[in-house]
Amino acid sequence: MLIIPAIDLKDGKCVRLKQGDMDQATIFSEDPPAMAQHWLAQGARRLHVVDLNGAQAGVPKNEAIIKKIVAAAGEDMPVQLGGGIRDLDTIERYLDDGVSYVIIGTAAVKTPGFLHDACGAFPGHVMVALDARDGKVAVEGWSKMTRHEVIDLAKKFEDYGVEAIIYTDIGRDGMLTGVNIEATVRLARELSVPVIASGGITDLKDIEALREVESEGIVGAITGSALYQGTLDFAQALAAARADRG
């Protein structure tokens, strides 16, 4: 199982938010490319990057620093990137920059035709981020709840050909309250595409719990706050993820 460190970008800096609130940003690094090099040196095999300003604006806002992050990550640590990706030209540009996977969130829900076109144009490179609370999908930085059931949408997007679904329980993200194993497993069981868990990972117990259900189709876990605040040791998390899976 992949343990995927997160770099969330706001104004060119590495930050973490509480429940998606841009006004509750804690700066963890003034040098995101150096942070990428740090995770590479620690043994990370994937890096999760989010352009928070881009997500808010609907267009890329941290592209220059993202290029530097991708260069720092090199070939051994593929980058998956979300935030402000709303058209095919942006996807093409990011892939040309060396990004391995683009993540489409709000646009997938609001303009599913765009997601369908993206999966057709860039097969194997498009992931969808579904953020949910109590089984319902949220959009626009979690500020708006929809009536869409997360499992129904995920199945629809699976048919489009997405590479993976990133599932976040937004009631827990950034709060260090533990990952929602039950909801993540429930989703993974309904899909054939991989699911990446996100939101609420606190410590080694969460990694161990996810590893126990890896066979359900959960291929990775994204973690940010726990790493930066020191409640999760990355080396220990990697060891737990590689432990005997039965």
Active site residue 21: no
Catalytic annotation on 96? no
Catalytic, out of 8, 51, 169, 173: 8
Catalytic residue among 51, 131, 169, 206: 131
Gyration radius of the chain over CA positions: 16
Return the closest-CA partner of residue 132 out of 208, 43, 195: 195
3-state secondary structure 122-134: CCCCEEEEEEEEC
Which of 6, 69, 82, 81 is CA-nearest to residue 234?
A: 6
Dihedral pair phi/psi, residue 198, rounded to 5°? -150, 150
The whole-angstrom separation of Cα 52 and Cα 23 is: 12
How many CB atoms are closer than 10 A to CB 134? 10
Query: Annotated active-site positions, please?
Result: 8, 131
